[in-house]
Amino acid sequence: MTTRLAAAWTRWMHGVVMVALSVLLAGCATKSEIVDAITALNEYYRTEYEAALKENGTRVFKLPRAEVYDALRVSLARLGLTVEAQDPVIGYLRVFGPSPRPLDAEEWRRVSDTDLPRTREIIGPHVGLMGHFFNFEPEGLQTVITGTVVETPSGTTVSFTARMREITPPKSGFPRRSYLPPTAVRMGLDKMWQELQREFDATYRRR
């Protein structure tokens, strides 16, 4: 057997072993234990989500509400998000896109590198060794983002919220989480604010 064929055979066998091991480990956790794991994870993610929104989910701009609303639509579209519902009169905008948008593939890898270790620690006590094989599955999910634009005494206030919407069931069989990973929330907020500011800068330079 040539060196190249031997290497290919080794990689193939490693893949077979890993799949078989994953299936074996999946049988070690009951449905109830898996549900408990996701419940614990959701509680942690919810706390982190609410903290992120409190810190960076709302900003005030010294600009007319109509202009802020238009800039918000343009900036979110530039991030690959599609308008699902809108009402410029009340300042409501809901957009969606295939996860992990508004993050790109490289940003999502950073989210996984940051959040997976803690995620596996949380679910480990409930599912045992199976927790070591848990991975994020953005496939089959949409990110839904809601923006509100409200006129206040201090200016025009913009606020964001985010959630996930399942399109197809996860391949792993793990129930879906209700909240985005904490780093994804924080990075997503930063990216949306940066894009909105970029639109403001471009608009006012043209005047």
pLDDT tens for the chain, 207 residues: list them: 455 544 444 444 444 334 444 444 445 678 888 889 999 999 999 999 999 999 999 999 999 999 999 999 999 999 999 999 999 999 999 999 999 999 999 999 999 999 999 999 999 998 888 888 888 888 899 999 999 999 999 999 999 999 999 999 887 777 788 899 999 999 999 999 999 999 999 987 544
Bridge-partner residues for 143, per DSSP?
A: 97, 164
The DSSP code for 2 is -
Is 31-205 CATH 3.90.650.10?
no
Can you give the pLDDT at residue 178?
A: 82
Count other C-beta atoms under 10 Å from residue 82's C-beta: 13
- Exposure string over 151-163, b if 16+ CB within 10 A, otherwise e: eeeebbbbebebe
Structure-block tokens of residue 92:
């409501």
Can you give the pLDDT at residue 79?
A: 97
Domain positions in the chain: 31-205
Say whether pTM exceeds 0.85: no
Can you give the pLDDT at residue 18?
A: 41
- Exposure string over 44-65, b if 16+ CB within 10 A, otherwise e: bbeebbeebbeeebeeebeeeb
